[in-house]
Amino acid sequence: MRLSLAEGAVGVSAIAACIAACHEGFMKLHPRHGWAVTPRDAVVLQQDLRGEIDTSRPLSLPDVRLIAGVDVSIKNGLSRAAVVVTSLPDFAVIETVLATRPTPFPYVPGLLSFREGPVLEEAFSKLGTEPDVFIFDGMGIAHPRRIGIASHMGLWLEKPTIGCGKTLLVGRFEALGLKKGAAAPLVDKGETIGVALRTRERVSPVFISPGHRIDLASAVAVTLAATTRFRLPEPIRLAHAAAGTL
């Protein structure tokens, strides 16, 4: 059974009550490999998996009713993942799941998914709802090997995923307007891999890229719909708060 916001019939409180009463984990995951790898092995895995990433599928914004924010906090060798499922457009919190475990992988630029993937896999397995789309605090295909954490974990989820990076990892972009919604293509080696998107007037842009099972235009539309008066989309803000400081 899929739990969703049925038009005019099922309210947020009813969904939350059902989750509380019968939470056993709902999301079916599709793991592709184990996590006990070296940095060299990790790069090989990225190169092997990048061809499976699908960034061609449009996602109709009116069909998006549940949107999940994904974030991980790491401190003193421990990682805590938070996935917060909210309704759209009101951002009522439908479900929050947490997972904590030892951090298994060193910090290596471009290999974030191997550092955060294990704890995210555990958190995703606890979800009692099935979000329509996930927004990650991290990159999608705006990545040197075109498989950032939103793309990599998108293969686990087989759901639309979006990368929302706060800092530029790879690529260049031209100047963009100062108004909210202004965007400029993010280009690397002649390939458009995302956009620099201004989500708040006169505030630094975020870097949006499709993760998996969504195209760039849809990723931008979902991000703007999920952004209120802050720079970061509301589901990511909620996930960041839930992950907290260890």
Binding residues for Mg(2+): 71, 137
Token pair for 15: 């969904």
Q: What is the rounded distance in angstroms from the CA atom of residue 77 to the CA atom of residue 36? A: 16
Q: What is the rounded distance in angstroms from the CA atom of residue 190 to the CA atom of residue 181? A: 24
Residue ranges of the binding site: 71, 137
At residue 117, φ and ψ (nearest 5 deg) are: -60, -45
What value, to the nearest 5°, has the Cα angle with vertex 93 and ends 197 and 95? 110
Q: Which helix (H) or strand (E) holds 212?
A: strand 206-212
Beta-sheet strand order (sheet of 183-188): 93-102, 78-87, 66-75, 133-137, 161-165, 206-212, 191-197, 183-188
Helix axes 112-125, 149-157, angle to 10 degrees: 30
